[in-house]
């Protein structure tokens, strides 16, 4: 009974802290703007099965992709056991889902196997981060805290797997001593159980309780640390894939305000009706975190900082300052900085900073070639170019700020109707001294 009360109190505290964090993040989402309409659910579910659960993009790096997939699949399977532990803790029972029969045995056996596979995979990841100094894990945006954050998260996952294997092994050894039937099958822990041989049943029970509480408390701790960590993608990656843009990567979304202006020029009758029904735009493009869409912010929260986007960016490869990973990290950091102030004082709150310039320089924005290599490489379908282009739109349409070459082209377009400095009347002068065999026009 004491264990049951202690567990319920711990669970309520965990849910309370997590609910506070979730509500805070929801408040930040409310500060953003609408994006595209979410439809085509059949395609979206297919995308989730292929990209999120099938880990298709991760396998572009076969060996490392395999280890990462093991961790993801392991979490999916082990989640079942975690749910059972919560039910057991609240109800005071033991192995409460064993009534599922053969399905229960399959899931428990899979979880026991994956606990070892995930532990090995995490050791590989920790070895790479500590000893190999992988280039794509570095960059101006990757501060010391980013590396510490990654190592803490990986260590917590490793401890989760060790405590799970310890719990299973002590359970198996207790049942071996008492001769009672086991609930579930433990193909890996069956071999670890002899390591606990020689212990009395009471001592085994104590160790089982230690491992049980360690595992569930680590789960509760991990769940509340994740929203403040780069590993928040554990929660956000599947929703991000589900809500991804389904348009081809080369297609950039049009601005509604500009579309209405074009309609006004082409068909004044229909355009005025559209204008009357919509408020004037607060701002063209993106200057700060409140100007982004909810999808941009979801991308930022989902970013795992793996660096695959930056490693294939042609601008970054040639030595320019642009790093697509940094764009996502900067948006996340800026919302964390300004969001609380806007929630308290309203969207008009101004702290004297902005996403553009205070976090992301014009040099970075204009270095992007919109080749979409970053979006194509991202394992969870983050779309960096749409945000970069929206920040460019702000610079051009609100401040008239652009590289000199672009300003000249804009001027030529305005005056000559073409991106060249020649007037329309002189556009064909280059052909004057050429001997061209032009066929006669058919009357």
Q: Name the DSSP class of 226.
A: G
Question: Is the pLDDT at 91 greater than 80, yes or no?
Answer: yes
C-alpha to C-alpha distance for 120 and 76, rounded to whole angstroms: 17
Shared domain check, 203 and 270: no
129-176 pLDDT, tens per residue? 888 888 889 888 998 998 899 899 999 999 999 999 999 999 999 988
Q: Is 286 helix (H, G, I), strand (E, B) or coil?
A: coil
| pLDDT of the residue at 177 | 87
| pLDDT of the residue at 425 | 79
- Identify whether 249 is part of a domain: no
- What CATH number should be reported for the domain holding residue 405? 1.10.1060.10
Question: Is the pLDDT at 99 greater than 60, yes or no?
Answer: yes
| pLDDT of the residue at 1 | 72
Q: Which residue bears the tokens 């920790």?
A: 126
| pLDDT of the residue at 234 | 86
C-alpha to C-alpha distance for 245 and 224, rounded to whole angstroms: 29
Question: Is the pLDDT at 122 greater than 70, yes or no?
Answer: yes
User: How many C-beta atoms surround the C-beta of residue 72 within 10 A?
Assistant: 18
413-441 pLDDT, tens per residue? 888 888 888 787 787 777 777 777 766 65
Q: Indicate the residue among 230, 246, 266 that finishes a domain.
A: 230
| pLDDT of the residue at 152 | 92
| pLDDT of the residue at 441 | 57
Question: Is the pLDDT at 31 greater than 80, yes or no?
Answer: yes
Residue 392 in tokens: 């460019």
Shared domain check, 262 and 224: no
386-404 pLDDT, tens per residue? 999 999 999 999 998 988 8
Shared domain check, 262 and 180: no
| pLDDT of the residue at 270 | 62
The CA-based angle 48-50-53, given to 5 degrees, is: 65
Shared domain check, 194 and 111: yes
| pLDDT of the residue at 236 | 93
Cα-flanking dihedrals φ and ψ of residue 324, to 5°? -55, -35
Helices (H), 357-403: 362-367, 373-377, 384-399
Question: Is the pLDDT at 191 greater than 60, yes or no?
Answer: yes
Strand partners, 356: 360
Shared domain check, 154 and 11: yes
| pLDDT of the residue at 342 | 95
pLDDT, average across residues 210-238: 92
- Identify whether 443 is part of a domain: no
Residues sharing a CB contact under 8 Å with residue 98, sequence separation 6 or more, in sequence order = 104, 183, 184
Shared domain check, 71 and 8: yes
Question: Is the pLDDT at 443 greater than 70, yes or no?
Answer: no
Domain span at residue 133? 2-30+61-230
Percent of the chain with pLDDT over 90: 63
C-alpha to C-alpha distance for 55 and 50, rounded to whole angstroms: 7
Question: Is the pLDDT at 368 greater than 90, yes or no?
Answer: yes
| pLDDT of the residue at 281 | 64
Q: Please count the CA atoms within 13 angstroms of the CA of 63 that sit on its side-chain side.
A: 3
- Identify whether 379 is part of a domain: yes
Contact assessment for residue 305 and residue 142, using Cβ atoms and an 8 Å cutoff: yes
C-alpha to C-alpha distance for 72 and 33, rounded to whole angstroms: 31
Shared domain check, 9 and 117: yes
C-alpha to C-alpha distance for 97 and 113, rounded to whole angstroms: 19
Shared domain check, 264 and 226: no
Q: Which residue bears the tokens 């929260």?
A: 301
Contact assessment for residue 58 and residue 69, using Cβ atoms and an 8 Å cutoff: yes
Helices (H), 348-383: 362-367, 373-377
C-alpha to C-alpha distance for 364 and 391, rounded to whole angstroms: 11
- Identify whether 45 is part of a domain: no
C-alpha to C-alpha distance for 187 and 154, rounded to whole angstroms: 25
- Identify whether 236 is part of a domain: no
DSSP 210-244: HHHHHHHHHHHHHHHHGGGSGGGHHHHHHHHHHT-
Q: Specify the range with the lowest mean pLDDT, choosing from 93-97, 116-120, 204-208, 326-330.
A: 93-97
Shared domain check, 388 and 266: yes
pLDDT, average across residues 32-59: 93
| pLDDT of the residue at 433 | 78
C-alpha to C-alpha distance for 142 and 146, rounded to whole angstroms: 6
| pLDDT of the residue at 116 | 95
Q: Indicate the residue among 230, 247, 271 that finishes a domain.
A: 230
Percent of the chain with pLDDT over 70: 95
Question: Is the pLDDT at 279 greater than 70, yes or no?
Answer: no
Residue 439 in tokens: 């066929």
Shared domain check, 303 and 197: no
Closest Cα partner for 290 from 36, 30, 38?
A: 30
| pLDDT of the residue at 213 | 95
| pLDDT of the residue at 427 | 75
293-305 pLDDT, tens per residue? 999 999 999 998 9
The CA-based angle 245-249-255, given to 5 degrees, is: 70
- Identify whether 37 is part of a domain: no
Q: Is 337 helix (H, G, I), strand (E, B) or coil?
A: helix
Question: Is the pLDDT at 280 greater than 90, yes or no?
Answer: no
Mean of per-residue pLDDT scores for the chain: 90
Contact assessment for residue 115 and residue 79, using Cβ atoms and an 8 Å cutoff: no
DSSP 133-156: --GGG-STT--HHHHHHHHHHHHH
C-alpha to C-alpha distance for 302 and 305, rounded to whole angstroms: 9
Shared domain check, 272 and 193: no
- Identify whether 242 is part of a domain: no
Residues sharing a CB contact under 8 Å with residue 349, sequence separation 6 or more, in sequence order = 338, 341, 342
Shared domain check, 226 and 262: no
Q: Is 25 helix (H, G, I), strand (E, B) or coil?
A: helix
Q: Using 50, 70 and 90 to split pLDDT, how confident is the model at 264?
A: confident
Q: Using 50, 70 and 90 to split pLDDT, how confident is the model at 278?
A: low
Split into its structural domains, the chain has a count of 2
C-alpha to C-alpha distance for 197 and 98, rounded to whole angstroms: 26
- Identify whether 221 is part of a domain: yes
Closest Cα partner for 283 from 356, 335, 333?
A: 356
């Amino acid at each position: 009974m004491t264990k049951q009360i202690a567990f319920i109190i711990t669970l309520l505290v965990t849910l309370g802290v997590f609910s506070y964090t979730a509500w805070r993040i929801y408040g930040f989402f409310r500060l953003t703007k609408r994006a595209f309409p979410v439809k085509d659910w059949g395609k979206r579910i297919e995308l989730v099965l292929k990209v999120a659960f099938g880990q298709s993009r991760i396998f572009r790096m076969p060996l490392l992709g395999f280890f990462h997939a093991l961790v993801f699949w392991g979490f999916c399977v082990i989640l079942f056991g975690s749910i059972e532990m919560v039910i057991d803790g609240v109800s005071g029972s033991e192995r409460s889902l064993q009534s599922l029969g053969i399905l229960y045995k399959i899931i428990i056996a899979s979880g026991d196997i994956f606990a070892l596979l995930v532990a090995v995979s995490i050791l590989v990841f920790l070895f790479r981060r500590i000893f190999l100094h992988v280039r794509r894990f570095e960059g101006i945006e990757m501060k010391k805290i980013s590396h510490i954050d990654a190592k803490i998260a990986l260590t917590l996952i490793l401890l989760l797997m060790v405590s799970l294997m310890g719990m299973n092994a002590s359970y198996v050894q207790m049942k071996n001593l008492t001769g009672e039937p086991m609930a579930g099958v433990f193909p890996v822990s069956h071999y670890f159980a002899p390591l606990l041989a020689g212990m009395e049943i009471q001592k085994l029970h104590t160790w089982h309780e230690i491992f049980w509480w360690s595992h569930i408390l680590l789960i509760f701790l991990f769940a509340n640390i994740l929203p403040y960590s780069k590993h928040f993608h554990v929660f956000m990656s599947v929703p991000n894939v589900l809500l991804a843009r389904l348009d081809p990567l080369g297609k950039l979304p049009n601005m509604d305000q500009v579309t209405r202006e074009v309609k006004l020029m082409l068909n004044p009758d229909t355009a005025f009706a559209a204008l009357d029904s919509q408020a004037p735009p607060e701002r063209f493009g993106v200057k700060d975190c409140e100007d982004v869409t909810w999808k941009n912010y979801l991308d930022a929260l989902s970013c795992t900082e793996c660096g695959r986007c930056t490693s294939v960016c042609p601008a970054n490869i040639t030595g320019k300052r642009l790093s697509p990973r940094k764009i996502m990290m900067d948006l996340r950091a800026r919302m964390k900085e300004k969001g609380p102030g806007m929630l308290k004082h309203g969207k008009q709150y101004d702290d004297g900073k902005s996403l553009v310039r205070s976090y992301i320089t014009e040099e970075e924005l204009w270095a992007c070639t919109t080749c979409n290599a970053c979006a194509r490489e991202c394992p969870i379908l983050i779309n960096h170019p749409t945000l970069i282009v929206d920040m460019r739109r702000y610079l051009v349409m609100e401040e008239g700020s652009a590289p000199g070459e672009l300003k000249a082209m804009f001027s030529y377009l305005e005056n000559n109707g073409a991106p060249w400095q020649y007037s329309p009347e002189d556009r064909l002068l280059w052909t004057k001294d050429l001997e061209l065999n032009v066929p006669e026009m058919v009357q």
